[in-house]
Amino acid sequence: LPRFHLRFLSSENHFSKGMLSGALTFMTNEQKLVDCRDQQVLISESLTNFRVISDVQFIVVVEKDAIFQKLIDEGYFAAFPKSLLVTGKGYPDICTRKVLRWLVEKLNVPVYGLFDSDPHGIEIMLTFKYGSITERREGRGCNVKQIQWLGLKPSDVPSLPITREQFIHLTNRDFMKIVKIRRRANGLGEDEVVAELDLLRSQRNKLELEAVSSIEPQYIIRGYLMSRLSPSPTPSCGTILFQDGARCQARNNTVRQVA
């Protein structure tokens, strides 16, 4: 898919490194349509000023751009046509988290996170959910507490058909990071995260999503995600969401107001 940069926006808008793609269309103030099904859209704070035509039933946040691209290339949207993929390309910036929070609240859909089974992946998951530990004032409130940790969890690893060569030994720095993240997770009452960190430490190995994706083509989609994601079977038509909270339904390019 081509990557789309909202060039018609003013230079004052704040762009991030994050990208999104899926069953979402933005209608700009100039009545231009940006269809995220046909292109990958660079996340910008200006998106929050636009109307949204949505068929999204859930959102999946992917840690890395490489897995984001591979999921799209291997037919993710054929398996989950009514979903939205988002990536922060590593540690998410404030803009990515702010727009993701806005989308989750506007669309009122569940959001899941897919991260590496390593200290950095778990820390990134917590950053999406609670913000950065070193957050400054402008980053406050730019978190998504609704995000559910889909994987890759250390407890998932034993059931995966992974060869020994695919694992990476934890370094001393990794062990130090586990202690730091565990302290934060414990303070936040994230018991599952604490347990998974303890398991990761005992495993003494980390596993990246790239290794899982290399098991066979489409493995992450068919061997991992399909057993964990249950999209609603109920058909839906496009819903247009306005800044003031008004809702419309779009059918065959005709828009009608929804009570």
CA 133 from chain center: how many Å? 20
- Taking the CB of residue 32, how many other CB atoms lie within 10 A of it? 11
The packing angle between helices 94-107 and 119-130, to 10°, is 60
- Are 203 and 136 in contact by the 8 Å Cβ rule? The answer is no
Residues of the chain with pLDDT under 70: 1-15, 135-141, 230-259
The pTM is what?
A: 0.82
**What was the pLDDT predicted at 253?**
38
**What was the pLDDT predicted at 258?**
28
CA–CA dist 245, 79 (Å, integer): 30
Tens digits of per-residue pLDDT, 150-191?
999 999 999 999 888 899 999 999 999 999 999 999 999 999
Q: Which domains does the chain have, with CATH numbers?
A: 3-258 (3.40.1360.10)
The strand pairing partners of 1, in sequence order, are none
Tens digits of per-residue pLDDT, 98-118?
999 999 998 999 999 999 999
